[in-house]
Amino acid sequence: MDSVAPLPSSPRLIVDLDAVRSNYRLMAERSGKAKTGAAIKADAYGLGLERIAPVLAREGCTSFFCAHLSEAVAARSALDYDAEIFVLSGVSYGEAPLLRQKHLTPVLNTHEQILLWREAGGDDPAALHIDTGINRLGLDWHNFAPAMAEGLNLSLVMSHFACASDPAHALNTKQLERFTTIRNAFPNVRASLANSAGILHGAETHFDLTRPGIALYGGAPLDTGGPSLTPVARIEAPVLQVRHLRKNQNIGYGASFTAPRDMTIATAAIGYADGVPVAASNCWFGRIEGQKTPLLGRVSMDLCVFDVGHLPSPPQPGDMLSLLGQDLEVLASLSDTLSYELLTRLGPRFVREYKGRSA
């Protein structure tokens, strides 16, 4: 008896490292004379910090931004000792020794963090975060005085745009004016304001160091327009079953889709446990051989159903259905979310494959 080759049963996440390189180079070019850092928080936006951080370092990136201490410790393991790694959440009680041991730089956001870093012997570098209008984290610009930073070895003063994705928003100008005033109080300290979208506003926002994030991973920084970025992440989900659906039959939990005609449908091994939002139900699409295949019915934990009746030939079990890639922003919009969320929600069940040159 002839042996039968096993069919794939798990979805794959394919990450293009050469695309990350290309996007970093574009952001570095748009950053002009400023140095270009990289946000690698949330496991490099869900795509694998340990694989992506060294690639960025190879491209010349020397400043990296993580959200929490645990992320920064992981980044230190992936990067050389000379790499500058910032911890955006700052410092909490008991963390100072580990920050020093791993050569990590806390971003001080509150008076309490400033005092804590001083009391812990704050000769090591720290960054200072001034909130200029996003009202989320950082020292309030209204009440900030440079004297608050006395005794600190500052390596960076920074702030964060609230509305950079909309270049015409009036708050951008206000934040830039506020940050410029603050930056002038620290003439010998590097300054950083621009995220991916802020970089695209022009040279006046660049200061000394830019901090691209979503653009590195193929997401669009601006609400409309912007440069052409190379897609980084693609999901390939195997088709498990192809079947015929009769007119007026339903699909999935809640019977939220009713066939308007006889149809051919394919069930793929992908669901909300892998990061496909339930809000994608009845509105997303995948691709088979480049052809769009609408998602039908409610997304379930492990499975999604797609309309394949319009394809030149129906897929077979084991064929791959693609998601994200060039459609990342469209799919995010269809499910009323952001590309940031889609990427960072990618689940742990994927078989991860990295293509392109490693560091």
Options 247, 253, 292, 355, the catalytic residue: 253
Number of helices (H) and strands (E) in the chain: give both, helices first. 10, 20
Q: Is the Cα torsion angle 40, 82, 26, 28 positive or negative in sign? A: positive
Of the candidates 257, 262, 266, 260, the one whose C-alpha atom is nearest the C-alpha of residue 246 is 262
Tell me the H-state helices in the chain: 17-30, 41-46, 49-58, 69-78, 96-101, 111-119, 170-184, 196-199, 328-334, 339-344
φ/ψ region of 104 (left if φ > 0, alpha if ψ in -120 to 50, else beta) reads beta
Cα 264 from Cα 254, distance rounded (Å): 20
Options 41, 45, 217, 272, the catalytic residue: 41
41 has catalytic annotation: yes
Residue type, 230: T
33 has catalytic annotation: no
* Residues involved in catalysis: 41, 253
